[in-house]
Structure 1
């Protein structure tokens, strides 16, 4: 056998164990997000900037399109980690789960919806809503609960002072308003800013600013996954922290450019507008630590809406150790 061939085979044999070792060191993590939203910008920054890869993680991201579907994916083993509202973990716990769903890293810390009026007022006052037709969000969901909490906070009884419409599917709420239904509507971005740009409505208030800090969207997993693969959870949280810091330190324009690939059908300028709006009102959490005050605010909002099945202690469904360690690093 020629010397060069022998040398090549030796090189291949030497490289194979190294390659296998490298592959074995990479951990695959399946993440189910409740929807695709600019509201989750730090997650996409972590992917586009390679922060998960730096931590030795191979991230598989799927969009479940709904809180119930996201939680089903997690509970059934179809996903390792879920990105969804923290209220879902409370619902699961209240049903007597033997494998609790643990919130380990917070992504957003305010409500992400805005109040859009059909007619632009000279000066907006919440009392203007009295007697109006209001297109709200699905009953039992966090947007609806936060929305009603804010209305009550401003002296409006949603059931008595408004013609409240809540029977329209989430995907069709914006279309219903655009077609002429309602005087006011509660919308997520980028639809709210797009409507304003097209003259279909006017953003007059932020439910996020009004409702205070709350664990609106959180990464969570089953306790059994933490027990078995806590190292992967730590690596995931480390990558997220890098992205949260990056978003905080960079402009809305730079963040928009970093996540543009995840929103191919959205105008880059609109992405920048939305990112800037969320940055200005502090919607993006600067770290993943879900503190007790935010957890209690969440349950207050749920209780006000009549949707809190039972009070759950912060220590029962929240593990801050991963986020605290990531923040220190």
Structure 2
């Protein structure tokens, strides 16, 4: 932290800061232009990037970064793939499926921002559902998309459960939480945050049972780039990730400051929602295998697990290898 200067030194300090300010603006304007497309509308997971931008960490690395909201991983993957954006934020699982689905091998992830899937079993307090086996004989409320993605089946298989002993009730349009609160179903499968939080606002819940803690984890939000861009601009990607790590460190040390920065950048956002996301996101930034590693580092075994789950339960074509989908060599070591 800067020390306070004596009154006599203030005019000179002001001139120095003014010159530094102009130099900073000039540096940003002259820096390498990088267009980044987020996976969705800016949220808590994106706070480190906005902090890095606001505090000049990208500028220090010679980058002029423009952050644009997205409307889903698929759209971001397409936008980066077409060359409209140099860098994107998208689910690694979604990237794997897109590669196999289109037969293209043009993009790769270089960092994992959310590595622990927040998908979970959510039930009310007193439901008796505290371990996987407890959902047998109970009623599951879910929408078609959640059921058809195969992950509830993967959860059942990984934990020796008989799906025939679970009554599945299809509830579309986001009505599963209402059904749970009304007692029409015994549990739902949704994200611990924010779905579990929204239920907990109305009634006490059991601690959400994360699929990721029971053998089923699909890697989430990741930094993606085109392979041809990476081959020509490796240092740019390294510098971007280094600045992002600095932004993450500051956001972790000062969540309220990170919230203010993000709200200044996106004033129409739901401040309470963003605050909750910034608070909860650290729970999902590492798996057991990547715990203690630098922000963004992904364990190879987690990539392998993601691929195998998608192939077995989501109908993804076989043949994708971890090296085709993730390269962690551009991340700073600390």
Do they superpose with TM above 0.5? yes
Structure 2 CA distance for aligned equivalents of residues 123 and 95 of structure 1: 37
Counterpart in the other structure of 2:38: 32
Counterpart in the other structure of 2:139: 133
Structure 1 CA distance for aligned equivalents of residues 76 and 322 of structure 2: 22
Per the alignment, in what secondary structure is the counterpart of residue 271 of structure 2?
coil
Structure 1 CA distance for aligned equivalents of residues 126 and 47 of structure 2: 29
2:296 to 288, 292, 295: 288
Structure 1 CA distance for aligned equivalents of residues 255 and 238 of structure 2: 24
8 Å CA contact retained: 1:27, 1:56: no
- CA displacement, residues 11-53 of structure 1 (integer Å, 9 cap, x when unaligned): xxxxx9x987762224232223245443555445434544333
Structure 2 CA distance for aligned equivalents of residues 295 and 308 of structure 1: 14
- CA displacement, residues 166-212 of structure 1 (integer Å, 9 cap, x when unaligned): 6735x665566557653212233233223213327443322233337
Per the alignment, in what secondary structure is the counterpart of residue 289 of structure 1?
coil
User: Structure 1 pair 78/310, CA: closer, same or farther in 2 (3 Å)?
Assistant: same
Structure 2 CA distance for aligned equivalents of residues 294 and 269 of structure 1: 28
User: Structure 1 pair 76/272, CA: closer, same or farther in 2 (3 Å)?
Assistant: closer
Counterpart in the other structure of 1:67: 73
Q: How high is the TM-score relative to the length of structure 2? A: 0.73
Q: How high is the TM-score relative to the length of structure 1? A: 0.74
8 Å CA contact retained: 1:52, 1:59: yes
User: Structure 1 pair 212/125, CA: closer, same or farther in 2 (3 Å)?
Assistant: closer
User: Structure 1 pair 276/257, CA: closer, same or farther in 2 (3 Å)?
Assistant: farther
Task: Tell me which stretches of 4 or more aligned residues in structure 1 moved more than 6 Å.
Answer: 18-21, 279-285
1:242 to 225, 240, 246: 246
1:191 to 192, 195, 201: 195
- CA displacement, residues 223-271 of structure 1 (integer Å, 9 cap, x when unaligned): 12223433322221112222344456x3xxx325413535533168745
Structure 2 CA distance for aligned equivalents of residues 162 and 105 of structure 1: 37
1:290 CA drift (Å): 2.8
Please tell me whether residue 78 in structure 1 is matched to residue 84 in structure 2. Answer: yes
Counterpart in the other structure of 1:259: 259
Task: Return 5+ residue gaps in structure 1 as ranges.
Answer: 1-15
2:115 to 109, 113, 125: 109
The 5 Å alignment of 1:215-234 reads: 215-234=219-238
The two structures, once aligned, show a CA RMSD in angstroms of 3.8
Counterpart in the other structure of 2:330: 322
Per the alignment, in what secondary structure is the counterpart of residue 207 of structure 2?
strand
Structure 1 CA distance for aligned equivalents of residues 117 and 34 of structure 2: 31
8 Å CA contact retained: 2:146, 2:189: no
Per the alignment, in what secondary structure is the counterpart of residue 266 of structure 1?
helix
